[in-house]
Every structure is written in structure tokens, then in C-alpha cells.
Amino acid sequence: MNITQEDIRSRIEINSISGNEIEVNMGPHHPSTHGVIRFILHLDGEIVVRATPDVGYLHRSIEKIAEKLPYSAFMPYTDRVDYVAPVNCNVGYALAVETMGNLEVPERATWLRMLGMELTRIASHLLGVGALTVDLGAYTPFVHALREREYIFDLMEILTGTRMNNNYVRLGGVCQNVNDDFFEKLSKYLDHFVLFLDEFERLIGLNKIFIERLKGIGVVKAEEAIHFSLSGPNLRGSGVQIDLRKTDNYCFYDQLAFDVVVGKGKFGVVGDSYDRYDVRIEEMKQSEKLLRQILSKIKEGEIQAKIPKKLILPEGELYHRTEAPRGELGFHIISDGKSLTPYRVKIRTGSFTAMTTLSDKLKGMMVADVIAYFASLDVVAPEVDR
Amino acid sequence: MNQLAYMIILAVIYLGVIVVTAGVLTVVERRIAGRMQSRIGPNRVGPQGAVQWIADALKALQKEDIIPDQVHPFLFKIAPYLVFMGVFLTLVPIPFGAYAFMEDLDVGIYYVLATASFVVIGFMIGGWASNNKWSLLGGMRSAAQMISYEIPTALAIVVIILMAGSLNLNKIVQAQGALPHEWYIFRNPFAFIAFFIFFISALAEGNRVPFDIPEAESELVSGYNTEYSGIRFLLFFLAEWANLVVIGALVTVLFFGGGNLGFEYLVQLPLPGRDPMKIEILGFLWFCFKTSIFVFIIIWLRWTLPRVRIDQLMDICWKYMVPIGFFIVMGTVLWVYFVPDNSQVDFITRIVMTAISTWILIYFVYRVYRNLKITKAKIHLNPFL
Amino acid sequence: MKYSIDICEKLVQLVSPVSAEIIQRESKMPIVKISAQEVRKVIQIAVSNPGLKFNFLNNISGTHLTEISEEGDIKSRGFALLYVLSRSDDFSSVVIGVDLPDLNPSVDSIDDIFGSANWFEREIYDLLGVVFNNSCDLRRIMLPDDWVGHPLRKDFQEKSSYNGIPTTREDELAAVRVDNL
């Protein structure tokens, strides 16, 4: 069904400006480090009267590609769904296919997957928090966070073979094993990381200007967060205590003890941008705790089960969700029971639904607050556009 | 005729020196920024990267002169020159050392304030003439910010004028002494507050973080700077860094007795080699040292603090700085009236304030040391990596 | 996962007289299948009924259902939508499926019930061509506004050029052949 351009222009009012408003364009090229996302803002002085996000600049039609590839060949593409936290996306896809096909995963492989996931979660939150600080004008904490990410990349290189876009997980396990050297290095790094977080808090987290820029900005109440399907740290920052690692027991998360971090309105209102920042910092501390527990529980064993070379999943569909650093990562896989490739793969990401809050929340904010709020949502363009 | 030639030569010398200083400052700032961010900073071009600024200037000089399509050509071209002129003119009365100034103006500090306002026109014209909505926003914000913050600056300076009894910068320097307790900042508590008011307002005047909204990179790309490239952009850049030197110099002269080595006293002492020329050079070096400490503090602040929002910036100015400024002016009037110079009360106040400030400084250093021990951070104090 | 057959049966019970059947009963994810006209009613009951309270929208997916013969001919059989809703306290979920006809597929929009539904629906409209009636803002989201066609359909053929830019090359390896570099 083809809609003409006149239909579109008559239906939306992007081009109607009244009075003193100016229409400015923020992006898609932008020093704000979230990727290629464009905003069309109508400003009355400093205040935003209307905001329209325009996405699709990073649309790579990953879902269409999935229909042409066998299940195990699609794994590298899931890295690129969120290239800041690739192992999490790998595991999400692998779990969806394995649940649908009743495939066994050895115990050590699951522990290694969880190790990769939590380490990547720390790296992803570092980038999210660092990007928030650089958008607010503090350049140094960003570079410190990137330095920590470099240390984590070194560890990921030993674990998975590459620094980014790891392609670590295979259907039925992981692709390579590690020896105890790695666990020692990881343990030493975690000792250093806790102290780094303390230093980071003192550098920027408790800085008065930082707090004043973020407190009370973009308050998302708990009902609004549920209404807009926010997930992950954004949802928990609004006070809703839902963590998919606890509600949907996947992998071995039920054997580990950790807290679900919720925003408490530390310096302002519950659900403001500072809370979302704080939830990410505290989640990194929880991930560090999880990693230590994984280090104590991991045992020797196989790392990949035998999967049929030509894997055909039984006919049917499944929607499987996991907790990625940016929210709920859901894979909806439909199989027609007779071909080697999936019939349809739909990827649902946390950043996509975080973008839906924008046209509502940005009204009435100042331009500087637009940046602060958007950065606190930790949206990355590849997750939005896929 | 000789007078004119003399003035032109002096102006050219000053221009050369200040451009070189601003250029070197860009490299120094990038090195400091690098060391604070656990990386090195430019160290390839020349020994320890010292010649990086010449490389940058040469690169910018050979760039294509891009003038966007529908700008106002005359205003677009003249904006950087206005800004640079505004900064450069403020250098005239500042005494670098005992007698090293361009012109002994009796209205010294008033002249500095007046010419520092030139840059506002430059920024506004640059923002408007760029035919770019973001530049316009940057220009408007910049104008509002700079005009607002001139008032607390002036109020802090009034405190100094009241204590010195003159607008002449030379007399202000000579009314202070060489030792810390003779500096104006420690003379009375109102001058102490005035230092902070002046420093913060001068930061806002110079568009430095935490008040660098007009050039906020992540919001407006570069504000009024966006459409400028090549040598025009470098002129804006140079003006900002030269302004750093001016702020440092003003702070030193007004509050810290810049360059004053107690000349009269020293000249009378039977010291070997007490050549007035040598003392003058020493005074100049002492002045440079103090100025560079403040320039370092400004650079340090830039790479640590986030940016304030425009309405928070206006709040700080009008709701906090201006009332405090009026308060300290009134306080200084009363103090100067009731407490004559070199009296007991004056002397005790000075010693007490010096002692308190030294204690605060030592406590700050101790806290830094303690934090470093707790986080077991590895610091490399060697800047020449 | 938090799907259970009991929740599905409860939903079927509470939405009667609307006819709903549960398919995929033995699998890990039972789906409550309803017809296209009742989508709004069922979802409103799922959200507001105190025994259900599924007030969190996880996902809306769309699929193009086809029959592909051995020669590769694609016969379109219609579209299928899937709504995944969850409870916000314990995140147990229910899945609602809808089948849509092939010609002019349309269904009522739910973007006044859930704030995020609009973007999901826009993506399905953009890539599959399913129209959501009474949507507050239905336009393309990923692709440019003047794109022709719906790429995620199985029988989608690109036009040969878009605004003057050719979309295919005759010889696809020409760009990387060594003598062309």
C-alpha cells in the first residue's frame, strides 16, 4: 500500500510553526555520543515547544538478513544490534534459539556466558555514564571511563578473542575456553575497579554542578515508565523494582545473590535523570559482586554441546527476553519447521522504547535539559534502528 | 612622529608576545588535559610537543577560506577581529613587573573593564552573521552571559579601588607588598570574598568552563564558532587564550601584588648586584609565575567541572554574585573608613587571614594525598612523558 | 520464562463472549489467538481487569505469512501480529496473536493504552504495510518518507532507483574487482 508524500505532509504538522518559534535540527551528525539520531526541535527561545525524533539513519535491516541465514550464522549480526554490549545480545539470541529447540548447554558454558555478560554490562554502563558526563561538559570522567573500558577490553580479548563485537557465544555454548590465569587477572581488575568507581563518584557524581544539571530533569514517574515500556536501568531509576535476571530466571542467576538497584531520589525526585545515572553506577557495583560470585562457582567442564550441523527448529514461535544493559532485549523467533533459516526474527530493544518517551517528555524543557535527559536514557542508535 | 613610531613598535612587540603566549598556552592546556585524563597529550611536534601550535597555525593558514553562502560578508569577516581587538586592548595598562607596561594610564582598571566589553559585540556579530540558527543561539547566550557578568567583576574591582584609592594599576601594585600578608586578598575579609567573585565572574566573561555555554560542544557543536574555519577560527581561539592570560594577570595585579618585590626596600639594601634592571626582570618573572598559577587553575577547572545551564548561570550572577558584590563593597567602605592602614587591627587581620588561607591550602593538599592513598591510584607527576 | 497456560486460560475466560483460542499449548509460549476486530477490546480487558492487570507492553511484532512453493513462487497468505503483555509486579506475561488478511491488512491501534505502542506500530507499518486505524501518528519510521514498498514482506522487490540513486549494480562484484580499484 503506497502512501504519497502529500498524504504524509497533510497528516503531520512538522512544518507548521507559529509566532516566535524557530525550528532547529539537532543531528544526525552530533558530537553527542549516542549515534546518528536526529531531533527536529521547535524552540521558543530556550524552551522546546515540540520535539520530533527522526530515526532510521542506522537501519541495517538485520531482521531481513536473519531470514536468509542459518541459525548459527546469524550470531555475528547480533553483536551489532548493540555494539556497546555485544555479549549480552549474543546470549539473548542463543538462549532464544536454545529454548525453542530444547538444546542443552553445558554448565561451564553457562557460567562463562554469565561472566561475559556481566563484564560487558560493566563496560556498557561505563560508556553510558561517560557519555552522560561528556554531554554535560565534563570531559575528564569520560576519558577515565574509556580507560577502564580499555582494561575490560583487554580482559575480553583473553576471554573471547576480540575486543569489541566479540561473537563469543555459539548455539550450545561458547566458542573458546579460558584457563585460571584469566580468573586471576579478572579478580585483580575487580579489586581495582571498585576503587575506580569510588574515585569516579568523587570526581563527578557528587559534584554540585553535575547534580544541579541532572536533578529534577526529565522526571519519569513509575506509572509513566510502565506506560512507555521503559526497561532496564531506566525503569528501575523510576522506582519500579523489576530486573529480568530475577523475574525470568535464565542462565544460573537464581544461584547468585545480588540486589535489584532502584532509584531513590537521592538528590531530587525519584525518576529524574540523576536517579538513572545513580542506578547505573550502583548496577556496576552489583555486577562486580556477581562477577566475584561467578569466579567462585565456575567449574571445569565442556564449553560447547554438540548441535546438529543443519539445525532445524520445530514449527512455532517464541519470544524470549533477557536483561541487556539498556533494557529488555527480546528475540521473537518464528520457525516454519522445515527450513534451515528462521522464518522471522524480531529484535526488541530497550533503547527503542526509551525513544518513545521523548516527544512527551521533551516539551517544556530547555535545550540543555534535552541533552541531559536524552543522555541519561542511555540510548544507542544501533539498538533503535537495527 | 617619534612618539607614533615608538607606540607602533611597542604594540607590535606586545602583539607578537601575546600571540606566542596564547599559542604556547594551547599546547600547555592540551598537555595538562592529557595528563589529567591519563593520557599524554601532544608530544610529537617538537620537543615535548612545544611547537604544536606553530603546526596548527600553519595548517589553519593554508586552509580554504570558506565563507558560507548567505552570510553577511562584512560582518562575518569582521567578527573575529573585533573579539581579538577587545582582548588585546586590555593589555595596555597591565604592569607586567614593576615598570613593564605599555602605558601608565591613570584610569587603568576602568579602561580594562571598558575594552573587555568589545568582545560582546564580536560574539554577537559572529553568531548572527553566520546564517545558522545554532550560531545565533550561541551568540545570544554569549551576549547575555558576558553583559551580566561584567557587573560582579566591576563590583569586585571597586573593592580594590576603595582599598588602593586609585584606578591606576601601577599604584595598586605598589600599594601591595611582596609578602603574602601584604597582598590585597588578605587585607580584609571583604577582599577575600572579592577575589572569588572576581575570579568566577572573569571565568564567565572569558567563556570558560563551567560557563562555556556559548561554545558548548555537545549542544551547539561550537556555538558562534560553528561556521568559522581556518584562520578566522584561530583568531577566536587565540582571543580566548589571550583572555586567559589577561584574567590571570588581572587577578595577580589586583589581589596578589603582582610583580611587586618590595622594590624600594630592595633597592636600598646593600645586596650584591642590586641592579634595578635585574630587580625589574626578577619582578617580571615573579609576576609571570603568579599569573601562570592562575592560568593553570583555570585550565584545571575546565577539564574537571561540567557546564552550568544558561538559566542557572544567570541565577548565579543575579541572585548570588551581585548581592554579594554589593555587600562587599559596603563592607569595604566601612572597613577602609574605620580601620586605617598599618594599624593594629589591620595587621592582625592580615596575619590571621594569611594563616587561615595557608591552613586551607595545606588541608586541601592533605585531602588529595589521602584520596590518592585510598584509591591506590598511580599518579605520574612527571609532565614530560 | 514467565508464560503459563493458566494465565492464557484465565484471559480466554475473562474476555468471553469474544472467541479466543489457545494455540501452541505444549510449547514454551502458548498464544491466545483472537480475530482482528477484537484486538482493542481484548487488550483493554487484559490491561484493566483486576484479575489480569497486564499493563506493560513488551513487544508488538508483525510477520508476513506466505507459502513458498518449490519453484520459489511466493503466495501471500496474510499477516500475523503478536502482542506480548506483562504484569508490572512479577513480570508474568501473556501473548496475544492476531491473523490479518492479505489485502489491506488493518487493525485498531492501541497507542492510547500504551505509550510505546505507537513506535512499534509505526515500525510494522513501515516495514510490512499493516495499517493501524485511529493511530495518532502513522508514518514511516526507519525508511525515508518517500520510500515505496514494504521491505520486510517476503515478496518485496526494490525499485531500480531511489531519487536518482541506483539501487543495484549490474555486476555486483565490480566495485571490489582489483582492476577497478
Residue with cell 506483562: C86
What residues of A are in contact with residue B213 (Cβ under 8 Å)?
368
* Tens-digit pLDDT profile for residues A301-316: 888 888 888 889 899 9
With cut-offs at 50, 70 and 90, classify the pLDDT of residue A16. Answer: low
| Maximal CA-CA distance, chain A | 70
Which residue range forms the structural domain that includes residue A362? Answer: 62-377
Q: Tell me if there are at least 3 CB pairs under 8 Å linking chains A and B.
A: yes
* Tens-digit pLDDT profile for residues A50-103: 888 989 888 999 999 999 999 989 999 999 999 999 999 999 999 999 999 888
pLDDT in the model for residue B240 = 86
Q: Are C22 and C31 in contact (CB under 8 A)?
A: yes
Contacting subunits of B (3+ beta carbon pairs below 8 A): A
Residues 6+ apart with CB under 8 A from B216: A137, A368, B138, B223, B307
Going from the C-alpha of B108 to that of each of B104, B159, B167, B173, the distances in angstroms are 7, 15, 6, 12
Q: Are C32 and C4 in contact (CB under 8 A)?
A: no
* Tens-digit pLDDT profile for residues A181-200: 999 999 999 999 999 998 89
Q: Which residues are paired to C60 by β-bridges?
A: C83
* Same domain flag for B238 and B208: yes
- Entry pTM: 0.89
Look at residues C52, C96, C86 and name the one whose alpha carbon lies nearest to residue A321: C86
A370 to chain B: closest CA residue: B219
User: Is B294 a domain residue?
Assistant: yes
Domain end position, chosen among B62, B79, B107: B62
* Same domain flag for B174 and B277: yes
Contacting subunits of A (3+ beta carbon pairs below 8 A): B, C
Residues A9-38: what's their mean pLDDT?
67
Domain ranges of chain C: 2-180
Q: How far is C178 from chain A (nearest CA, A)?
A: 27
pLDDT in the model for residue A31 = 62
Please state whether beta strands A327-335 and A47-54 pair in parallel, antiparallel, or not at all (unpaired). unpaired
Q: Which of C84, C91, C145 sits opposite A5 (nearest CB)?
A: C145
User: Is B216 a domain residue?
Assistant: yes
* Same domain flag for B180 and B329: yes
Q: What ipTM score was computed for the predicted complex, to two decimals?
A: 0.89
Q: Which residues are paired to A309 by β-bridges?
A: none
Which residue range forms the structural domain that includes residue B231? Answer: 70-338
Identify the three-state secondary structure at position C91: coil
Going from the C-alpha of C156 to that of each of A82, A244, A347, C101, the distances in angstroms are 27, 36, 20, 17
Look at residues A367, A127, A270, A355 and name the one whose alpha carbon lies nearest to residue B307: A367
Q: How far is A59 from chain C (nearest CA, A)?
A: 6
Q: Which of C58, C62, C63 sits opposite A330 (nearest CB)?
A: C58
* Same domain flag for B31 and B154: no
What residues of B are in contact with residue A135 (Cβ under 8 Å)?
218
User: What's the rounded Cα separation, in Å, for the pair A254 and A325?
Assistant: 19
Q: Whole-number mean pLDDT of chain A? A: 88
Q: How many CB atoms lie within 10 A of CB A126?
A: 27
Q: Are B174 and B267 in contact (CB under 8 A)?
A: no
Domain count, chain A: 1
pLDDT in the model for residue C1 = 56
User: What's the rounded Cα separation, in Å, for the pair B7 and B15?
Assistant: 12
What residues of A are in contact with residue C138 (Cβ under 8 Å)?
11
* Tens-digit pLDDT profile for residues C63-102: 999 888 777 778 888 899 999 999 888 888 999 999 999 8
Q: Which of B36, B307, B376 sits opposite A136 (nearest CB)?
A: B307
Binding-site residues on chain A for chain B (CB distance < 8 A): 22, 24, 30-33, 43, 46, 133-140, 143-144, 147, 192, 195-196, 198-199, 202-204, 207, 209-210, 212-213, 366-369, 371
The CATH number assigned to the domain holding A283 equals 1.10.645.10
pLDDT at A286 over 90: yes
Q: What is the pLDDT along chain B (385 residues), one digit of tens a residue?
A: 788 888 888 889 888 988 899 999 999 999 989 988 888 888 888 888 888 999 988 988 888 888 878 888 888 888 888 888 888 888 888 888 766 677 778 888 889 989 888 888 888 888 888 777 777 777 888 888 889 999 999 999 999 998 888 888 888 888 887 777 788 888 888 999 999 999 999 998 888 878 887 766 545 555 666 777 778 888 888 888 888 889 999 999 889 887 777 655 555 555 555 566 777 777 888 888 999 999 999 999 989 898 888 888 889 999 999 999 999 999 999 988 888 777 888 888 888 999 999 999 999 999 988 988 887 777 777 767 6
* Same domain flag for B27 and B76: no
Residue with cell 469474544: C18
Identify the three-state secondary structure at position A107: helix
What are the helix (H) ranges across chain B?
Answer: 2-36, 52-61, 73-89, 108-116, 118-128, 133-164, 169-175, 189-205, 217-220, 231-255, 263-268, 276-302, 310-315, 322-338, 344-375
Q: Which of B38, B134, B309 sits opposite A368 (nearest CB)?
A: B309
C91 to chain A: closest CA residue: A247
Q: Which of A24, A43, A207 sits opposite B306 (nearest CB)?
A: A207
* Same domain flag for B150 and B267: yes
What residues of C are in contact with residue A321 (Cβ under 8 Å)?
1, 58
Residue type at position A376: S
Identify the three-state secondary structure at position A212: helix
pLDDT in the model for residue A154 = 93
Q: Which of A11, A352, A360 sits opposite C139 (nearest CB)?
A: A11
What residues of A are in contact with residue C143 (Cβ under 8 Å)?
56, 59
| Class of residue B72 by CB neighbours under 10 A (exposed 0-12, middle 13-18, buried 19+) | middle
Domain count, chain B: 2
User: Is B379 a domain residue?
Assistant: no
CATH number of the C2-180 domain? 3.30.460.80
Residue type at position B368: V
What residues of C are in contact with residue A352 (Cβ under 8 Å)?
119
Residues 6+ apart with CB under 8 A from A286: A258, A259, A261
User: Is A12 a domain residue?
Assistant: no
* Same domain flag for B36 and B149: no
Q: How far is C15 from chain A (nearest CA, A)?
A: 22
pLDDT at A1 over 50: no
User: Is B382 a domain residue?
Assistant: no
pLDDT at A285 over 50: yes
User: Is B117 a domain residue?
Assistant: yes
pLDDT in the model for residue A9 = 45
